[in-house]
Amino acid sequence: MPRATTSIPAPGASPHHHRTLLHYCKAFGVELEPFIQLNHNAFVHRTDAFGGKPQRYKELATDFKGHVSELLAKSLNAGALDGKVTKEDKDKLLEAMRDWGVLDKNMAYSSSLAVSGQRGYDQAPGGGVGGAPTPSKVNGLTDVLDSHVWTQMGFYFGYVMQTTMFQPKGGMDMIGKGFYRQISKLVRLNTKVTKVAQDDSGVTVGWQDAKTGQIGESKADYCVCTLPATIVSQLDIQMGDAKKAAVKALPYSGQVKIGLEMKSRFWEENYSIYGGHSFTNQAIGLVSYPNYNFFKDGPAVLLGAFASGAGGYQLAGMTPEQRIQAALDQGAVFHPAEYRREYMNGASVAWSRMPWILGCCASWTEESRAAHYQNLVSLDGRIVLAGEHASYYGCWMEGALLSSMDAIKRLHQRALQA
């Protein structure tokens, strides 16, 4: 299925329903902490809305549901939906729209203290003589529609993007290190696979040490190949034509991430933003705010971009230095006074240019799955493929784990039969 441009696949965070990954994190002592997804106080930005000025998500989301509620209430009261709903359901819907949309007694969406209780106030409630709050002004329907805020609202409804989400303390590689601790004696690092051959008796994998240049072979009864399809397609590997066609038919997405180290946590101090994402239709896609060390002094790192689609390819085509400058230029729309002043260092990763993967993750469509998926995941003699690309959980570690467990189970059954 096509992915939304604001999708945030791993590495980044893990949803609460990725039970396999969470199980192994617990079993291997990988400490997790909350990953904040939805932050109502973060920003939404489009270059062609509100004169290019970012707006708080809470304001646009509240305005969107308010205007939609008013329109539905008007349609119901005008009898336009009488053929679709019973009188009882009509009454319930009107009550729901009044409450959900914060409509007034005339079923209209307009500025009020009740509405400001969701979208924010011009003057927030205070104490003492001058503590009375004042309502904020709601945005008109046309302006709200120009913002496309529904894309962010829909993003947070996505099954894999719903709270609660988690991230490992110290970075996503803590998960890989947790696995490595269990099997380190069986792992050969810094080794490039050059060839995979098989016959009736077993599998032979040719390899070269990336540091010393040493060439060697490893033999086994069976092979679970977890290399990305982008690499398998270039490998001398002994597989059937149907599996090779499936591998070659599978394109990978080209996401880019950019980390920006800042001198201070100005997004907290000046904007009251703690975790979450600010979205933009610029190439960078979004800015994500750190979910740890809140209220600390000193440097901190922003995710200055998680670009996909056209934006991802645009940034991937730049030099690392150019990517940093693009992230600073585009991210400054959210924090114009601080972004360049507070910047210290930056780093970027363009998955399509990483030699061991050549892309972020597999991009199946319904058509390509129908034509090739079963051929990709089938046993081919003594070789079976596994990874996120061999699952219906593409781009996520959960998919990689589930596909690997399925592959091992099938190989075990084959071995028992033999």
Residues 138 and 77 in one domain: yes
- DSSP designation for 161: G
CATH number, position 97: 1.20.1440.240
Say if residue 56 is in the same domain as residue 89.
yes
Q: Is there a single domain that holds both residue 369 and residue 337?
A: no
- The residue among 307, 341, 375 that closes a domain is 341
Q: Is 70 in the same domain as 141?
A: yes
The domain that contains 331 carries what CATH number? 3.90.660.10
List residues bridging with 286 in a β-sheet.
Answer: 279
Query: Could you tell me where the beta strands, DSSP code E, fall in 32-117?
Result: 32-35, 43-45, 55-56
CATH number at 198 reads 3.50.50.60
Q: Taking a C-beta distance cutoff of 8 angstroms, is the pair 63, 56 a contact? A: no
Residue 157 lies in a domain: no
Q: Is residue 21 part of a domain?
A: no
Domain termination site, one of 311, 341, 371: 341
Write down the pLDDT at residue 12: 79
Residues sharing a CB contact under 8 Å with residue 338, sequence separation 6 or more, in sequence order = 262, 266, 270
Q: Does residue 6 fall inside a structural domain?
A: no
pLDDT in the model for residue 11: 53
Do the strands 223-225 and 236-237 form a parallel or antiparallel pair, or are they unpaired?
Answer: unpaired
Q: Do residue 205 and residue 331 come from a single domain?
A: no
State the total domains in the chain: 3
- Do 118 and 53 share a structural domain? yes
**For residues 408 and 388, what is the distance between their CA atoms, to the nearest angstrom?**
15
Residue 182 lies in a domain: no
Residue pair 6/158 in contact (Cβ under 8 Å)? The answer is no
* 206 inside domain: yes
Whole-angstrom distance, CA of residue 264 vs CA of residue 164: 27
**247-270 pLDDT tens trace:** 999 999 999 999 999 999 999 999
Return the beta strands (E) in 202-262 as ranges: 202-209, 215-220, 223-225, 236-237, 256-262
Structural domain contains residue 41: no
Above pLDDT 90, what percent of the chain?
97
The set of residues, in sequence order, having a beta carbon less than 8 Å from that of 2 and lying 6+ positions away, is 365
pLDDT tens for each residue of the chain, 418 residues long = 223 333 344 457 999 999 999 999 999 999 999 999 999 999 999 999 999 999 999 999 999 999 999 999 999 999 999 999 999 999 999 999 999 999 999 999 999 999 999 999 999 999 999 999 999 999 999 999 999 999 999 999 999 999 999 999 999 999 999 999 999 999 999 999 999 999 999 999 999 999 999 999 999 999 999 999 999 999 999 999 999 999 999 999 999 999 999 999 999 999 999 999 999 999 999 999 999 999 999 999 999 999 999 999 999 999 999 999 999 999 999 999 999 999 999 999 999 999 999 999 999 999 999 999 999 999 999 999 999 999 999 999 999 999 999 999 999 999 999 8
pLDDT of residue 418: 83
Domain that holds residue 67: 47-123+132-147
pLDDT value of residue 1: 28
Domain check: are 247 and 370 in the same one? yes
Same domain, 119 and 61: yes
| Whole-prediction pTM | 0.92
Indicate if 380 and 335 belong to the same structural domain: no
Written as one letter, the residue type at 299 is P
Question: What distance in Å separates the CA atoms of residue 278 and residue 57, rounded to the nearest whole number?
Answer: 8
Looking at the fold, whether 206 and 247 belong to one and the same domain comes out as yes
d(Cα 37, Cα 304) in Å, to the nearest integer? Answer: 16
Whether residues 56 and 139 fall in one domain:
yes
- Contact call for residues 47 and 282 (beta carbons, < 8 A): yes
Token couple for 261: 């180290």
Q: Any idea what the Cα angle at residue 352 is, between residues 152 and 284, rounded to 5°?
A: 35
Q: Do 238 and 210 lie in a common domain?
A: yes
